[in-house]
Copies of this chain bind each other. A is one copy, B any other.
């Protein structure tokens, strides 16, 4: 009969959620564990009882973010059951919404930029998660009946990745503003082949 209120959830969950949010907003190196625990309404010792190090917490945050993103793909399937082309357009739409709603880009890409040590434990996790996302998009393009599915998927990936990082440097009025137009005409052009 545990109380379901978010504010009174288990400390581990609060830490994970708060850390995700703060890493996203201020960057990984821009947030200390003390700040996280304080914002999560707990303390450092409790954090280190649940996560063996800050690096481990970072990895768990990335996994959680990826899992959240993965759930969006389920929405596509639910909204357009079986219609893979419609799901691809929904993907473009969703990407555009993300661009409008948030100017801090992709957590995994940002983490890769910040964590420059080539042997950092988070790097292989980032690579794995990004590869999984790539394969999902390739499969969607292929199932939508597009011939060069890999090429379209990769192009769309780069466009979105570029848009998300471009927003952070030039701002929302820069090249990223044209993302939807670019993506849609790309899809049309690939379908025409």
Q: Which residues on A are within 8 Å of B, measured CB to CB?
A: 25-27, 29-30, 104-105, 108-114, 116, 126-127, 130-131, 134, 151, 153-155, 157-163, 165-166, 168-171, 174-176, 178-179, 181-182, 189
Please tell me if the beta carbons of A130 and B170 are within 8 angstroms of each other in the complex.
yes
In the complex, are the beta carbons of A116 and B178 less than 8 A apart? no
A166 and B158 in contact, given A30-B29, A104-B116, A113-B27 (Cβ under 8 angstroms): yes
Interface of chain A, main secondary structure: helix
> Which residues of B sit under 8 angstroms from A154, Cβ to Cβ?
174-175, 178, 182
* B residues near A30, Cβ cutoff 8 Å: 29, 114, 116
Verify A113–B165 contact, CB threshold 8 A: yes
> In the assembled complex, which residues on chain B have CB atoms less than 8 Å from the CB atom of A27?
29, 113-114, 116
Contact B126–A169 (Cβ < 8 Å)? yes
A174 to B159, CA, bound (A): 14
Neighbouring B residues of A126 by C-beta, 8 Å: 169
- Whether A131 and B170, one on each chain, are in contact in the complex, defined by CB atoms closer than 8 angstroms, is yes
Which residues of B lie under 8 Å from residue A130 when comparing CB positions? Answer: 166, 169-170, 174
Q: Are A174 and B134 in contact (CB under 8 A)?
A: yes
Chain A to chain B contacts (Cβ below 8 Å), 9 pairs: A25-B116, A27-B114, A27-B116, A104-B116, A108-B169, A112-B165, A112-B169, A154-B174, A158-B159
A158–chain B nearest beta-carbon distance, Å: 3
Q: Are B161 and A165 in contact (CB under 8 A)?
A: yes
Q: Is the CB of B166 within 8 A of A182?
A: no
Q: How far is the CA of A112 from the CA of B163 in the complex (A)?
A: 13
Please name all residues of chain B whose beta carbon is closer than 8 Å to the beta carbon of A174 when the two chains form the complex: 130-131, 134, 154
Alpha-carbon gap, A174 to B175, bound state (A) = 23
Given contacts A134-B175, A151-B178, A161-B165, 8 further A-B contacts (CB under 8 A): A29-B29, A29-B114, A109-B165, A130-B169, A151-B181, A151-B182, A155-B175, A161-B162
